[in-house]
Amino acid sequence: MAKAIPVYAESFLLLYPLPALGLMRRSIFTCTGNTSLYGNSEMIVDAPLKFPDNRSYKILGDSGYTQFLRLILSKVRPGSNFMGFTNDPANRDADILIVCDLSIEGAIDLIHDRDADDVAIFPLPSGDVWAYWAFSAVGLDFIEVGDPLTIDGSDFLKVNEGYGRLVEDPETGKAQLNGSNYLMSNNYYIGTHKDQILEVMAALTDDASRAAYSRVLLGEPEAHWAHYTKRAYQNIQYFDYLDFDKIEVVLNGGVFGGYELPFFVTNLPKGATVHNFDPLGHSHLTDYARLWVESGIINFVDNAIALDREDGSIDMKIQGDGQASKEKKEDKGKELELTSFPARSIDSFVEETGFDRVDLIKFDLEGGDRRAIEGSMETMKKYRPQLALSIYHDADDFWDIPNMIIDNLPEYDFYLDTYSFERWETILYGVPRELGPRTTNVV
């Protein structure tokens, strides 16, 4: 049966990017701070603007990680008082002791003890090119400190240059933005899928998600940059909207460097189990992520298999960074060779393993997401897990994947956001309505 499309949904597309989204063209981009710490009884800080701006702190250990975190906090949290590095886990000279580097002696013991109200567990998104950690290496100096933080639009062009996101204009030889990184450059094609897009818009639960969907489809680059600047120092990809208190079993499709794994350690209840699925297994985990995986707080299971709609094998390309991908990519103009990997469907894996619950499914599968979702649908219907699904690898994914989920999973609330300053890293969240409404943790 065709869905009725509310008038407001179409209005978001028609009015974008002016009053409906509260976005006017301007050269200053804002980021609102949030001084709250959250979690259960423990202090968990997953982004710099979640750290209080009026407390003194020390950081456990003096390493490259701790020094760069201090640099970031001194910039975006200037009201906090840094009192130095310490190698003593028992040192409480400051209001808060930050623990972020598990290679420091005593750090693992502190993250096991979540009841200390003067210890802040602060995982870092090392290895994620789109998170604040990598962005700070290029863009931190451009941030103008105030309430809110701002980055001038011309400076954001310099950030693009620092990221290597500019291409040469073949006629003028000047550097310019790569239009293929923004869907609005192909707005005619998007227009041919208006009906599917409006169905997604109608199913999204909150205004923030509808605004994010409109922006990623039709937004000018400046709108993407504005949103990224607002969000990047406030939260982490895959960890928005979800109710982690209700999650004991995770099926995590797509791992590679594993930058998200430390955040599973800090957000999930102790003893939860995360089944990782990646064609390369844990072989490419960063040294930083591996220490969190081996900390023993969460049970990580390494499944070195690809996910697909059915059991068998799948041909994938190994990218220049070593990542296995279904995307149609080349390396310096050369076609990449195919490598065959064993593949499973989630449905057959869950049935064979004998799961009695599945609480969260996260997929970011480098172009294999749609097939993996098809092979997970019975599991989703049976266990009604929360969802964090990438929908950005192909243009059609932006409407085909959400509508596949929407059509098969009734009584779900759906949310959406983008975690890059381009079209990439767009995540669809699904939360069963019996868990109650959710909100973004971006102020």
The pLDDT assigned to 338 comes to: 86
The pLDDT assigned to 277 comes to: 98
C-beta of residue 91 within 8 angstroms of C-beta of residue 58: yes
The pLDDT assigned to 331 comes to: 52
Strands (DSSP E) along 230-382, which ranges? 249-253, 273-277, 299-303, 306-307, 312-318, 324-325, 330-331, 334-335, 338-344, 360-363
The pLDDT assigned to 259 comes to: 97
C-beta of residue 280 within 8 angstroms of C-beta of residue 366: no
pLDDT > 50? residue 151: yes
Left (φ > 0), alpha (ψ -120 to 50) or beta: where does 101 sit?
Answer: beta
For residue range 109-142, what is the model confidence (pLDDT) as tens digits?
A: 999 987 788 999 999 999 999 999 999 999 999 9
For residue range 313-344, what is the model confidence (pLDDT) as tens digits?
A: 998 888 767 777 766 555 555 677 888 999 99
Q: If you ran DSSP here, which 8-state letter would residue 39 be given?
A: S
User: What is the sign, positive or negative, of the torsion defined by CA atoms of 335, 134, 216, 392?
Assistant: positive
The pLDDT assigned to 333 comes to: 53
What burial class does residue 202 get, using C-beta atoms within 10 Å of its C-beta: 0-12 exposed, 13-18 middle, 19+ buried? middle
The pLDDT assigned to 442 comes to: 75
Nearest to 341 by CA among 323, 320, 316: 316
For residue range 278-304, what is the model confidence (pLDDT) as tens digits?
A: 999 999 999 999 999 999 999 999 999
For residue range 244-280, what is the model confidence (pLDDT) as tens digits?
A: 999 999 999 999 999 999 999 999 999 999 999 999 9
What percentage of the chain has pLDDT greater than the value 70?
A: 88
pLDDT > 90? residue 66: yes
